[in-house]
Structure 1
Amino acid sequence: MLDPIVNFFTRIFQWIGRGIGFAVGVILWPFMWAGHWYTQRGWILKAVLGLALLMLIGLYGYFIWNTQVWSNFNPAYAEAYNFTQPAGTAPAQPAPSATGETAGVEGEVKTCTNSAIVQVAADLIDFNVNENAWISSMILYKLGFFGMDWDRTPFLDNKASFQRGVNQAIRRTAVELVDTLGRVRGTSQIDQNLQDARGAITFDEETWYFGLRPFGPKTPTPSFYRTAASSLRAFNDRLMKCEVVFNARADNLLQFVDRIASDIGSTSDLIRDRSQNFNSGWFDTRADDRFWFAYGQLYGYYGILTAAHHDFQQILDNRGLTPLWNSVEGQLKAALAIQPLIISNGREDGWIMPTHLTTMGFYVLRVRSNLVEVRSVLDR
């Protein structure tokens, strides 16, 4: 009675086994053909091809290692900073404004001190390109996975997206340092160190040592970013020597917060679009890019806004904004605690696959909402 059933399932498993064997054979056939072809070549060609193969294996090993190992990654890194006046330096002094008057409490222009924002921005660049390899401009990342952009695959692209998110926060900060924070008034001269930093950090993120447009050798992206970090540190050195100013005015803080809120808002819209229009759960190969870009952006702003707390301490205390600012920092830290192994972009009402992208979007909106509230208090 049971023989027909047993025979049926036996044939099913045989077909499955043959199908798996056929698939494995198709995958291995190019390698077997290449191995057979290689054994029939002369020893000189064998040596050249063997050396090239070893170099390729080494490059891929180096590439995979750098995409998977995140050196000095610490979601609570901002807590390690101790923004205090360096020993032996003069206390911060109000500098003359463009009209010749000394700035008051709501218009403090600092000099002979250290800017925490500039320090953190330089440290984040160092984290991105010195403590870690800059993934986006590595030759194997640019070549992709058999011609397919790594961002369209479910693996080896998370660190690149994270680094670009951190870099986005640094770029926004560099622009504000040039336009407002590093000068007394909008009509005063732009500081050259900050200008150099802005130009270097806004360089494109994917340049390798050689390119086609234009054709020829190039300076790679990490070199430009290292120059930006050096320029930021040079500005801070001159600031401590009383040679330049840091304009910690309330209106500058208002603009800085407003620009950060707008920047985060753009990322929120990016997440919303992906979350609403692509609900493939664990099979959405672009969800991890959106998630880790947003994560990196919040990672960068966590340190920068913590630094701004120090640089604008007097303004925050006078306006009663310290509790609200602490709330922003707390929400950033809470968002950085979300580190799923695999990013899923499931439906919001789904019950099988989680919605990591929507969760990150929720935290991004919470941070933005609090920044908008800070801005409205400063605008009163």
Structure 2
Amino acid sequence: MLDPIVNFFVRVFQWIGRGIGLLVGVILWPFLWVGRWYAGKGWILRAIVGALIFAFVAFYAYFIWQTQHWANFNPDYSVERAKEKVLAGEPVPAGTGDASASATGGATSPATNVCNRSEIVDVTADLIDFNVNQNAWIPSMLASKLGFFGIAWNHTPFLDNKAAFQLGINQVLRRTTTELVDTLGRARGTSQIDQNLQEARTGLAWDENAWYIGWRGPTRPTPSVYREAERKLRAFNTSLEKCQSTFDARADNLMQFLDRISGDMGSTSDILRARMEASNAGWFDLRADDRFWFAYGQLYAYYGILRGTRADFSAIIQERNLTTLWTRMEEQLRTALNMQPGLISNGNESSALFPSHLANMGFHLLRARSQAIEIRSVLDR
């Protein structure tokens, strides 16, 4: 009685085994053919081909290593920056520890030529350093541009998370340098634009995917241009420390900066929403991971930028009794950075098997955005 059933399952497993064997054969056939061809050639040709194969393997091995090694990744990178102090660009009072010590007795003398550095500028420069010096800039690497057999990496489930994370950070840096040039780095927006800030903004506007050769011929690769932008930002802060530059730490400038940040967060949450509506394939959505890590990169950068903003505008934040609200906004951003899933799922929000990491990220973005808007409304009263 059971023999027909047993025979049926035996045949099914035989078919499965044959199918797997056929698939493996198809995959291995080109390699076997190349191996036979290679064995039949002379040693000179074999040496040349072997060197090319070794170079190809080393080329992609280096790329894979760089995409998987996130050097100095630390969500608490800005934890030491939230200090209560005078406004950025204002003279440092005597006796604060920033003034120069006198030659006798170590007593401090009035710091008539020492002004406060901008923490916003320092964080921005540090994030550029993190992106292009401490780590390789993935979007402009040749292997990244070549893709996976011609398919862009962000259309595959492989090797695109770090690039998306870096681009999210860079989006914030571009926004921040624009605000530094247009409002924060000039007196009431009517004085002359600071040349260091202008060149930093121009540098960060450079094509994120540029290599040594582009469609129009030789060009500067993205990392070298961004390194120049970092040097210009540090030069501005050095000039500011000598009271030779301007940082206009006024309440209306803070309001405008928060407006720009909340608008940026709202735009990214809309990108997440669009992806959630386009697919609910769960673990099998190949575009969900780059959307998630782009948003994560934004939050990672804004966490440091907003802590720097708290230091630069500390007197205004204290005067308007915004300390509690600001602390709550920072805590919300830091909580969002705890979400680091190994595999991104874009499932239906009510699914028990396929979580929606994009919905979780969108929630954190909108929470931080709403708190920024609340702070802005208090400043506007």
RMSD: 1.7
2:307 maps to: 306
- 2:249 is paired with a residue whose SS is strand
1:190 and 2:190 aligned: no
* Counterpart-to-counterpart distance in 1, 2:57 and 2:213: 21
Identity within the alignment, %: 61
Tell me how far 1:90 sits from its aligned partner: 8.9
Counterpart contact for 1:111–1:244, Cα < 8 Å? no
Aligned to 1:23: 23
CA distance in 1, matches of 2:331, 2:211: 38
- Paired AA for residue 161 in structure 2: N
Moved more, 38-47 or 157-166: 38-47
Asked whether 1:203 is paired with 2:187, we answer: no
Report if the CA contact (8 A) 2:85-2:314 is conserved.
no
TM-score by length of 2: 0.92
1:256: which partner in 2? Answer: 257
Q: Check whether the contact 1:183–1:246 (CA below 8 A) recurs between aligned residues.
A: yes
- What residue is the counterpart of 1:106 in the other structure? none
For 2:145, what is the secondary structure of its paired residue? Answer: helix
Name the counterpart of 2:169: 166
Deviations 1:85-108 (A, max 9, x none): 79xx99448xxxxxxxxxxxxxxx
* Alpha-carbon distance in structure 2 between the residues aligned to 1:82 and 1:169: 19
In structure 1, distance between residues paired with 2:286 and 2:55? 29
Deviation at 1:81, TM superposition (A): 3.4
In 2: Cα distance, 1:33 partner to 1:186 partner: 69
Give the alignment of 1:65-214 within 5 angstroms: 65-81=65-81, 83=83, 91-92=91-92, 112-211=115-214, 213-214=215-216
**Residue 297 of structure 1 corresponds to which residue in structure 2?**
298
Indicate conservation of the 8 Å contact 2:81/2:307, yes or no. Answer: no
Work out the CA distance in 2 between the residues paired with 1:85 and 1:323: 17
Alignment-mate amino acid for residue 65 of structure 1: W
CA contact (8 A) 1:183 1:191 kept: yes
1:232 and 2:233 matched = yes
Instruction: With the length of structure 1 as denominator, give the TM-score of the two structures.
Output: 0.92
Distance 1:312 1:90, change over 3 A: closer
Query: Conserved in 2, the CA contact under 8 Å of 1:309 and 1:316?
Result: yes
Partner of 2:231: helix, strand, or coil? helix
SS in 1 for 2:189: coil
Equivalent-residue separation in structure 2 for 1:336 and 1:182 (angstroms): 30
Distance 1:90 1:365 in 2: 34
- Structure 1 contact 125–229 (Cα < 8 Å) conserved: yes
Question: Structure 2 CA distance, aligned partners of 1:30 and 1:154?
Answer: 24
The aligned counterpart of 1:101 is none
Residues 301, 181 of structure 1: CA spacing in aligned structure 2 closer, same or farther, 3 A cutoff? same
Residues 85, 114 of structure 1: 8 Å contact kept: no
Q: CA deviation at 1:3?
A: 2.1
Contact (CA 8 Å) 2:82, 2:308: kept in 1 or not? no
The residue type equivalent to 1:285 in the other structure is L
Q: Is the contact made by 1:85 and 1:91 (CA closer than 8 Å) also made in structure 2?
A: no
Q: Secondary structure at the match of 1:189?
A: coil
Give, as a single letter, the amino acid of the residue that structure 2 aligns with 1:36: R
CA offsets, 1:232-286, max 9 Å, x none?
0000011111111111000110000000110111001000111122111001000
Q: Render the CA deviation track for 1:147-197: whole Å, top value 9, x for unaligned.
A: 111001111000000000011111100000000111112221000000010
5+ residue gaps, structure 1, are 94-109
Residue 97 of structure 2: aligned partner: none
Q: In 2, Cα distance between the equivalents of 1:69 and 1:80?
A: 25
* DSSP-derived class of the 1:77 partner: coil
Instruction: Give the Cα separation in 1 of the matches to 2:266 and 2:277.
Output: 16
Change (3 A) 1:205 1:312: same
**Number of residues paired by the alignment?**
360
Contact 1:152 1:285 survives alignment (8 Å): yes
* Preserved contact between residue 81 and residue 119 of structure 2 (Cα < 8 Å): no
Q: Deviations over 1:186-214 (max 9, x none)?
A: 22100000001000011111011112x21
Q: Residues 286 and 90 of structure 1: is their aligned pair in 2 closer, same or farther, counting only changes over 3 Å?
A: closer
Which amino acid is 1:130 matched to?
A: N
Residues 309-363 of structure 1 deviation map (CA, whole Å, 9 limit, x = unaligned): 0000011111111111111100000000001110000001111111111000000
In 2, Cα distance between equivalents of 1:198 and 1:111: 26
Shift of 1:82: 6.5
How far apart, in 2, do the equivalents of 1:244 and 1:340 lie?
A: 43
Q: State the one-letter code of the partner of 1:114.
A: R
